[in-house]
Chain A
Amino acid sequence: MYRYDEFDAQFVAERVAQFRDQTGRRLAGELTEDQFKLHRLMNGVYLQLHAYMLRVAIPYGSLRSKQMRMLAHVARRYDRGYGHFTTRQNIQYNWPALQDCPDILADLATVEMHAIQTSGNCIRNVTADHFAGAAADEVADPRPYAEILRQWSSLHPEYSFLPRKFKIAVTGADRDRAVIQAHDIGLQVVKDASGALGFRVWVGGGLGRTPMIGHKIRDFLPEADLLAYVDAIVRVYNLEGRRDNKYKARIKILVHEKGVEPMREAVEAEFAKGPKGLTLPADDVARIRAYFAPPAHAARPAASEIVAQRRGSDPRFAAFVDTNVAKHREAGYGIVTISLKPIGGIPGDASADQMDVVADLADRYSFGEVRVSHEQNLVLTDVALDDLPSLYDALEAAKLATPNAGLVTDIIACPGLDYCALATARSIPVAQRISERFGEGERARDIGELKIKISGCINACGHHHVGHIGILGLDRKGEETYQITLGGSGDETASLGDLTGPGFSTDDVVDAVETVVDTYLGLREGADEDFLAAYRRVGMAPFKKALYERDAGREI
């Protein structure tokens, strides 16, 4: 993983000192809220429904065990003993006092962490495939490029006050696990015919109140041009993006209003003006890549006898291996998803004790590294298959072994009206009730892969537009109402979900989801046809009929 050099360390330390001074002056009444708010937000401190909220950056979701222990320490010492992992692979604390925030940031700086650019109209935390570096289907590890983008975009003087926030995601595999097409810029690492590394580039994706799937504007961008080309995109956006209307200020609106071809031409024209010193020197790419060198895997047999034995005697362990362990590029290793979605639990929440357990297990079983996924789970990327039984037992003891990765109960949910000042309805209780309804038994496994994503307002932090089943909570005349969309997808076949029709009350929404699932089970062409495939085959009609014409159906 990347390590701070002396400049990084000094920069973050200076930033903490600045914020300590700013906070002190605010508390002393020397700064008004209007004067202070910008500084507060630039350091990740929001004011939410019940308290301040601190969002800490986890670049491309990668953490060392020592950093995870620090996150646990912050939760325990300054918060209420837990934290919430987010869809930007960051962590949020729900209850920090403003007066403690400088100390929290100072503690985080000791392990090379900060909260810079986790808010504001700047380039936010660059996200990446959470299986990066380990996935069997990967062309190259996307994290070195995410790190290069992070260094370039941190406090970039030209891009600190963009028309609106700006999000970049990078993946290194054909299978998109990083939702790149729903980002302002999505990058996929690919190789050309000669074997040289480069990128496919998408622009203008985004969710929120005006959801759009990104448009591919480059089939192959040479590796060395990464920064020059991304710079050209952001420059065009910075010049032409709307600043008159906050709700039309994202690059997706510019691309939509300008047109994809004119946007491509504008970017290429800007890019053609010359590299402006941004051509990546191969030595520098190699230097950054070295930080992400694969760990020293041992030569191991492809199959594990120990796992096979345990599977035979322990169905839950077998379910865990089937759902939560993904194929690793190295024989004899697996990628383990640690579900933060216990049945009936709060999606993405982890206690300080659980964070410590994960840090210890990372040290023992996965070369001391942890990943945060945008699906609000944690990942150990390099686990020897022979270690799976003991890892599973340790996870189970910490209530972290729910065998549901990718299943109906592996739900993304934003904090919703339980925490968020912007929310219009609660998200978490809906997720909890759906989770309890389906549980972790045979039925949930039979349903297969099904991604439910829930947002508590149209800002769509819960990614509901790209959920196979998306749920959007709204306030309708003082009552929580939930709209359902079907057929959304955040993978390489990205699509926005279709609205089923009128929304459902909080009492009815879980039944409605179950109706959708039962309808799918009744019409699928076999267990191999997952929900998304079935929906794409049959369309909305049977689901709509089941949801809204149940009574009519009974009369026939």
Chain B
Amino acid sequence: MPQIVTASRLADGVVVFLDDGGGWTERLDRAAIFAGKADSAAGLDAGRTAEVRSLVVDVYAVDVALQAGVPVPTKLREAIRARGPTILPEFTKPGSTPAQVQEDDHVSV
């Protein structure tokens, strides 16, 4: 199953994802996608380095399924963590749902 690597940003606690450039993004749709557990090990190593540098805390890998190009976590806890509280739609995180990405695509970036 594909995986992404996530963490919490140290300074503000915001949920972040490892991106393709080895940096950290708040946008789920820009997370680096690893083909499986074996591949995400390199991402976890990068995460641990960032932990040592006090950029992020609590690094771990999350199983995802691709939906319209967005890696959506398969477990409810991780899906809510990536997307925001289900009770407050106004706090839905940008880039966290396939619908939002399609909208962005339509507007054309």
Give residues in A with beta carbon < 8 Å to B.
26-29, 33, 47-52, 80, 96-99, 346, 417-419, 423, 426, 428-429, 432, 475, 478, 480
Q: Name the one of A51, A96, A418 contacting B86, with C-beta atoms under 8 angstroms.
A: A418
Q: Quick check: is B11 within 8 A (CB to CB) of the other chain?
A: yes
- Asked if A418 contacts B80 (CB within 8 A), the reply is yes
Contact of B77 with A417 in the complex, beta carbons under 8 Å: yes
Q: How far is the CA of A246 from the CA of B58 in the complex (A)?
A: 21
- In angstroms, Cα B85 to Cα A97, docked, is 17
- In chain B, positions 69-87 with a C-beta closer than 8 Å to chain A are 74-77, 80-81, 84-87
Chain B residues within 8 Å of A478, by CB: 74-76
A99 and B81: CB pair below 8 A? no
The segment from B12-20, B30-38, B39-47 found at the interface with A is B12-20
Q: A99 and B51: CB pair below 8 A?
A: no
In contact, B87 and A346 (Cβ under 8 angstroms): yes
- B53–A29 touching, CB < 8 Å: yes
- The residue from B8, B10, B76 contacting A417, defined by CB atoms under 8 A apart: B76
Is B12 within 8 A of A97, CB to CB?
Answer: yes
Supply 7 A–B pairs (Cβ within 8 Å), ascending by A.
Answer: A28-B54, A29-B54, A33-B10, A50-B14, A96-B13, A98-B13, A418-B86
Question: Within 8 Å CB of A80, what residues of B?
Answer: 91
Q: Does B57 contact A (CB under 8 A)?
A: yes
B80 touches A47 (CB 8 A): no
Q: Is the CB of B81 within 8 A of A49?
A: yes
A97 in contact with B11 given A28-B54, A47-B57 (CB within 8 Å):
yes
List A contacts of B8 (CB < 8 A): 47, 51
Chain B residues whose C-beta falls within 8 Å of the C-beta of A98 in the assembled complex: 10-13
- Nearest 7 A/B pairs, CB to CB: A97-B12, A29-B54, A52-B13, A51-B13, A418-B85, A99-B11, A49-B81
Contact A418 B87 (CB under 8 A): yes
A48-B13, A49-B80, A51-B14 given; name 15 further pairs at CB < 8 Å. Answer: A28-B54, A33-B51, A49-B15, A50-B13, A50-B15, A50-B85, A51-B13, A51-B15, A96-B13, A99-B12, A346-B87, A417-B76, A418-B80, A418-B85, A478-B74
Complex CA–CA separation, A307 to B16 (angstroms) = 55
Is A419 a contact partner of B54 (Cβ separation < 8 A)? Answer: no
| Interface of B: prevailing SS | loop
Q: Which of B10, B77, B80, B86 contacts A27 (CB 8 A)?
A: B10
Q: Which residues of A contact B51 (CB under 8 A)?
A: 33
When C-beta atoms are compared, the residue in chain A nearest to B51 turns out to be A33
A49: chain B residues within 8 A (beta carbon) = 15, 77, 80-81
Bound form: Cα–Cα A419–B80 in Å: 9
A423→B87 CA distance, assembly (Å): 15
Which partner residue on chain B sits nearest A432 by CB separation? B87
B86 and A426 contact, CB distance less than 8 A:
yes
- Residues in B neighbouring A426, C-beta threshold 8 A: 80, 86-87
Q: How far, in whole Å, are A4 and B91 apart by their CA atoms in the complex?
A: 38
Distance between Cα atoms of A97 and B10 in the complex (Å):
9
Residues of B within 8 Å of A423, CB to CB, are: 77
Q: In chain B, what residue has the closest Cβ to A27?
A: B11
Q: Are A51 and B81 in contact (CB under 8 A)?
A: no
For A97, the closest partner residue in chain B by CB is B12
CA distance A80 to B12 in the complex (A): 13
Please give, as numbers and ranges, the residues of chain B lying within 8 Å of A52 by CB-CB distance. Answer: 12-13
Q: Are B87 and A47 within 8 A (Cβ)?
A: no
CA distance A50 to B85 in the complex (A): 8
In the complex, what's the smallest C-beta–C-beta distance from B31 to chain A, in angstroms? 16
Which residues does chain B contribute within 8 Å of A480, judged by CB atoms?
76
A26 and B54 within 8 A (CB): yes
**Which of chain A's residues have a CB closer than 8 A to the CB of B91?**
80
In the assembled complex, the Cα of A404 lies from the Cα of B15 at a distance in Å of 37
Q: Which residues from chain A contact B84 at a C-beta distance below 8 Å? A: 50
On whether A417 and B80 interact (CB within 8 A), knowing A33-B57, A80-B91, A429-B86, the answer reads yes
Q: Are B14 and A475 in contact (CB under 8 A)?
A: no
Closest A residue by C-beta to B56: A33
A340 → chain B closest CB, angstroms: 15
Q: Assess the B87–A429 pair: CB atoms within 8 A.
A: yes
> Whole-angstrom distance from the CB of B82 to the nearest CB of chain A?
9
Which residues of the other chain, A, contact B57 by a CB distance below 8 angstroms? 33, 47
A51 touching B76 by the CB < 8 A rule?
A: no
A33: min CB distance to chain B, Å = 5
